[in-house]
Structure 1
Amino acid sequence: MFRPALIAGAFALAGALLTSASAMAQEKVLRIGMTAADIPRTHGQPDQGFEGNRFTGIPMYDALVHWDLSKADAASVIIPGLALSWSVDAADKNKWVFRLRPGVKFHDGSRFNAAAVVWNVQKVLDQNAPHFDQSQVGVTVSRMPNLASARAIDDLTVELTTKAPDSFLPINLTNLFMASPTHWQKLLSEVPASVADPKARAAAAWTAFAAAPSGTGPFRGVRLVPRERFEMVANKDYWDAARRPKVDRVVLLPLPEPNARTAALLSGQVDWIEAPAPDSVPQIKQRGFTLYTNAQPHVWPWQFSFREGSPWLDRRVRHAANLCINRAELKELLGGLMEIPVGTVPAGHPWWGNPSFQIKYDLPAAQKLMQEAGFSAAKPLTVKVLTSASGSGQMQPIVMNEWLQQALKECFFNVELEVAEWNAVFTNWREGAGHANARGANATNVTFAAMDPFFAMIRFVTRQTNPPASNNWGFFNSDEFDQLAATARSTFDDAGRDRALAALHKRIVEEAPFLWVAHDVGPRAMSARVTGVVQPRSWFIDIAPMDIRPGS
């Protein structure tokens, strides 16, 4: 429960926030309280889940392809970013040509061109490249595992090659942010000669790059204090006039505890918080703050293990879990800040597919399935779930998991919760259920965006995406699902791809590799001073068009 006394704790932020107060006195400063426990990486490939993309990726960097975040009343779609156009080769669908935007410069003043694209592909794919950075691989390659290489055709044209035909590639490329090769090379030259090993020198250059980033985005990073704060200032020369920032400075503050975030907002220490404590929403509104929400393609699940010995191998058990929980009751507990799922996508979506298994609350049916599987109140089934106390998209993970723990008792589940730091849970998502870092869990609670086919479905159901390649944490594998995914991936016309994806979604819901619990609505509370806010139907949001009115 939200406790007003926690407001006192928020004043601990004051010292940090006032450190550069005199320098900021004449600036428009937007202060954001994130759910992450640390600042997402700032070198161009953020960690901390998609909260990293939202706050240190999209503001400072551009990708070849962007999400359109300018509308609140329509689904986000991809639009040109640093690439003006792209097309797949009609004769060889493993090859794509991207034509680049002219006249774009990195924050250090160097030019963006095809060579820079090749360099940024190499940083995560080419282990022989001098600037290859292993720390950036996991959060990048797992999101576009088919990308193989890049080649400059001319200064403003680049060819990307995939391992297999992949109609999802342009969408996947929204996750590959372009960092400045020139700036990195300069920082490499400043690494002391006493650091002789080439890999150590490269790592040192990337560490220096994180402290002084250079992308092409609307904001430029200027101050990094790990676990405390990160500051960005406006790039007034940004190439897209519509996204030239109106605020002068953005300050990011990690505040993983929801009551502390809420207290910081109410006490005026920040202007914007992610995921406020649900029971504080009435007070937030009464105090004149604005609560923004919008239904998002974002799933809050348990993802099951299919390794030998897992209690989830029996489909009756998986179906029972999905039928056992009263999601309407959970929605009430969360103050209405969720949507009730019937799958990864909603009914009526082009990828829906009309599954034969219906996700709903049906307690007698759930209990019957568990009894058929050999369980009862006298003989419960113990399951262990790995979760976090906070994090990107995790909503209110402790509250929600404790509610699930109680709700599932009615269906003879004995739920054990294993709580770990968010980034560790997120990293284990790629390591897999068999890794020691899974801590013996047979389900993991990592939320995911469902904006595109790969993120929504493919990465969870194919052998190609088994750990550590991507996020098939539980090793859910079969020839059928490999073929369904391959058909969708190799279909390049929109209508045909939608049909293939609908067939895939139908079978995913029927086999139930997840406990689908909620769809997020992305609640964020902001001071009324913050203007120009568009809450899109997306996991992301664009800071660049926002403004802030003067005032206390």
Structure 2
Amino acid sequence: MFKRLAISAALAFSLATAAQAESVVRYGISLADIPLTSGQPDRGAGAYKFTGYTIYDPLVAWEMDIADRPGKLVPGLATEWKVDPADPKKWLFTLRDGVKFHDGSALDAAAVVWNLDKVLDEKAAHYDRRQAAQVKPRLPSVASYRVIDAKTVEITTKAVDSFFPYQMLWFLVSSPAQYEKVGKDWDKFAMTPSGTGPFKLDKFVPRERAELVRNADYWDKKRLAKVDRLILLPMPEVLARTNALITGQVDMIETPAPDTVPQLKSAKMRIVENVTPHVWNYHLSVAPGSPWQDVRLRKALNLAIDREGIVALLNGLARPASGQVDPTSPWFGKPSFQIKYDPEAAKKLLAEAGYSKQKPLKTTFVIAQGGSGQMQSLPMNEFIQQNLKDVGIEIEFKVVELEVLYTRWRKGAKDEMNADVTSNNIAYVTSDPLYAIIRFFHSNQVAPVGVNWGAWSSPAVDALLDEAAKSFDVAKQDELLAKAHSLIVDDAVLGWVVHDTNPHALSPKVTKFVLAQHWFQDLTTVGVD
């Protein structure tokens, strides 16, 4: 009897020790729900670091394990991609050998084409409208695709497009075998997903938590997760999220409350931020009936915003924006319209257009209550609302959940869904030519085809962007993009406010985390001692 008790005690001690040995990090995220887990995450670009690049992989990846310089395109599930010498509209992707999905099935060209069908071919039996809504606008160049052999996929673009590989960053690959196993049901697949990524989904409670566990068999041994278990906890309210870190309920958070930064630092929390190609702005409608058809009003709005005041409001966790990209970007150019805080100049332009503080311009903007990438949405908008009122622009806000804002964004200003607003306040990544400039300002990207929300167009800008897309000379691309950006700023197409620095706050427990100069982040770099 004594021997059995001793064995039981030893076993219990062993199990307890094993449980304690599991390294766990609890991550408070700024979303109201866990992003879609079936392959293409919803809830914006920020969601890719949660349920995108954790469970899944793209064909073409982004370098995310460095912090002191911008990343670049690197091999993902494809080891190589190149233009067919006989036809520059055809791209050939060579797949990596030996990659398996979490369910044990093998990655091959047929699986990649099956995934392209799931988001691009509405006639496919496994087409998923929810995933398609997230990624179809991010793949505007795709005309057709096919299997060449087991390790080669050919994708044909609608026109010669030197920037096409950047689109493939957003396309993630799910397991066809797992889809069959769960009864060809994407909702069931989302509960037990299978990708090729460095984490597997172990537990999932919508709106409450997702627990990701380390994939020890991951194909990229340099990118094995540094923790055994990563728990994602939705915490959309910034103060609740910050207090959760202070009280030890979580180990790291994104976007801490700015006014708590001194308190966090005194509690030995580490604040991590970096140069981030991400802009917070207002998309202005130039659809019929919108006041923003008048360039004077668009310029007045830009001149009325106190960007340094916004940076102070955020306790330094942002940088003023003077265009779509930062002036250090090779695509910034030399715009003649200088975006700055000049309320008197704003009043003068408003007066020319027939408005004043006594006769204000009144309109409505749709904004998010919060969410990943939207920074401190409500405080920032309220600050700017007062800035604009001071010069004669009175804005009412229609406050919606982030995914509703994205839906309105994809529909475009001309859609009846947006008949009640003249601007959409949305922030996004600006890391490459497609995502910084082309998809917002080319006339062929007017929503719902792309995300040129306001329906703005310029033949001169179109011509420059078309020429850049046809060139494979990077210096020439930069020159053409800079000219296009100059014209865009000179026409005050958007209301630009600040660039995010993607701040994170880490408890002393979290000793490792690389914050890349991108909105894509690699949670395999999160580690504890």
Alignment TM-score, normalising by the size of structure 2: 0.95
Amino acid at match of 2:204: L
What letter matches 1:100 in structure 2? Answer: L
Contact 2:242/2:257, CA 8 A, preserved across alignment: yes
Matched, 1:474 2:469: no
Task: Identify which of 97, 100, 124 aligns with 2:95.
Answer: 100
Residue 541 of structure 1 pairs with residue 521 of structure 2 = yes
2:153 to 158, 162, 184: 158
SS of structure 1 residue aligned to 2:358: coil
1:96-155: per-residue Cα shift (whole Å, max 9, x none)? 011111111110111111111111111111122221111111210111111122211111
Q: Is the 8 A contact 1:432 1:474 kept in 2?
A: yes
1:44 and 2:39 correspond: yes
Shifted more, 25-34 versus 66-75: the winner is 25-34
Match of 1:169 in 2: 164
Q: Is the 8 A contact 1:530 1:548 kept in 2?
A: yes
Residue number in structure 2 paired with 1:260: 240
Of 21-30 and 333-342, deviating more is 21-30
Q: CA deviation at 1:54?
A: 1.3
Q: Secondary structure at the match of 1:69?
A: coil
Compared with structure 1, are the counterparts of its residues 497 and 113 closer, same or farther at alpha carbon in structure 2 (3 Å cutoff)? same
CA distance in 1, matches of 2:431, 2:125: 34
Deviation at 1:529, TM superposition (A): 1.1
Deviation at 1:322, TM superposition (A): 0.9
**Does the aligned pair in 2 maintain the 1:317–1:373 contact within 8 Å?**
yes
Cα shift at 1:253 = 1.0
Deviation (angstroms), 1:485: 2.2
Equivalent-residue separation in structure 2 for 1:398 and 1:22 (angstroms)? 46
Residue 125 of structure 1 contacts residue 149 of structure 1 at CA under 8 Å; is this kept in 2? no
**2:178 alignment partner in structure 1:** 183
Tell whether 2:81 aligns with 1:86. yes
Is the CA contact (8 Å cut-off) linking 2:298 and 2:495 kept in structure 1? yes
Report the Cα distance in structure 2 between the residues aligned to 1:142 and 1:22, rounded to whole angstroms: 49
Q: Which residue of 2 aligns with 1:288?
A: 268
Give 1:23 deviation, angstroms. 9.6
Counterparts of 1:198-347 in structure 2, within 5 Å, are 202=184, 205-347=185-327
- The Cα shift of 1:90 comes to 2.8
| Cα distance in 2 for residues equivalent to 1:436 and 1:310 | 13
* Residue of structure 1 equivalent to 2:344: 364
Distance 2:79 2:175 in 1: 19
**Structure 1, gaps ≥5 residues long:** 1-20, 189-201
- Alignment of structure 1 residues 344-359 onto 2, 5 Å: 344-359=324-339
Shift of 1:343: 0.8
Shift of 1:76: 1.7
Would the aligned equivalents of 1:117 and 1:150 in 2 still touch at CA under 8 Å? no
Q: Equivalent residue for 1:66?
A: 61
User: Which residue number corresponds to residue 77 of structure 1?
Assistant: 72
- 1:449 to 1:287, Cα distance in 2 relative to 1, 3 A: same
The one-letter amino acid of 1:254's match is: P
CA distance in 1, matches of 2:122, 2:133: 13
Secondary structure of 1:85's counterpart equals strand
Letter in 2 for 1:148: A
Q: What SS is found at the alignment partner of 1:42?
A: coil
1:507 aligned partner: 487
What pairs with 1:396-475 in structure 2 (closer than 5 Å)?
396-438=376-418, 440-475=420-455
Letter in 2 for 1:84: T
Question: How far apart are residue 436 of structure 1 and its match?
Answer: 4.0
CA offsets, 1:50-108, max 9 Å, x none?
Answer: 12111000011100111101111111211111111111123312100111111111101
Secondary structure in structure 1 of the residue aligned to 2:50: helix
Q: How far apart are the structure 2 equivalents of 1:146 and 1:361?
A: 38
AA in 1 matched with 2:164: L
Q: Using the alignment, how far apart are the partners of 2:386 and 2:122 within structure 1?
A: 48
Deviation digits for residues 154-191 of structure 1, max 9, x if unmatched?
A: 11111111111111211110100011111112222xxx
Structure 2: distance between partners of 1:343 and 1:130: 43
Select the residue among 89, 104, 109 that pairs with 1:114.
109
1:525 maps to which of 489, 505, 511:
505
- Which amino acid in structure 2 is aligned with residue 212 of structure 1? T
SS in structure 2 at match of 1:447: strand
Instruction: Output the amino acid matched with 1:249.
Output: R
Match of 2:23 among 11, 20, 28: 28
CA distance in 2 between counterparts of 1:387 and 1:401 reads 8
**Paired position in structure 1 for 2:5:** none
Task: List per-residue Cα deviations over 1:487-542 (Å, max 9, x = no partner).
Answer: 22222221111111111111111111111000000011111211221111111221
Query: How far off its partner does 1:324 sit?
Result: 1.4
Amino acid at match of 2:400: A
1:270-317 deviation line (CA, Å, top 9, x unaligned): 111111111111111110111111121100001100111111111111
Deviation at 1:348, TM superposition (A): 3.5
Please give the secondary structure, in 2, of the residue aligned with 1:536: coil
1:244-277 deviations in Å (ceiling 9; x for gaps): 1121111111111000101111111111111111
TM-score (norm 1): 0.91
SS in 1 for 2:524: coil
Q: Could you tell me whether the CA contact under 8 Å between 1:234 and 1:248 is conserved in 2?
A: yes
Letter in 2 for 1:169: F
What is the CA–CA distance in structure 2 between the aligned matches of 1:233 and 1:23, rounded to whole Å? 15
Cα distance, 1:477 vs. partner?
Answer: 2.1
Q: Secondary structure at the match of 1:93?
A: strand
Q: Which moved more, 1:441-450 or 1:119-128?
A: 119-128
Q: What secondary structure sits across from 1:339 in the alignment? A: strand
Specify the SS of the correspondent of 2:318. coil
After the TM superposition, list the runs of 4 or more consecutive aligned residues in structure 1 that deviate by more than 4 angstroms.
21-25
| 1:51 counterpart SS class | helix
Select the residue among 384, 388, 395 that pairs with 2:364.
384
What is the alpha-carbon distance in structure 2 between the residues aligned to residue 351 and residue 386 of structure 1? 29
CA RMSD, Structure 1 to Structure 2 (Å): 1.5
Structure 1 vs Structure 2: percent identity of aligned residues?
Answer: 47
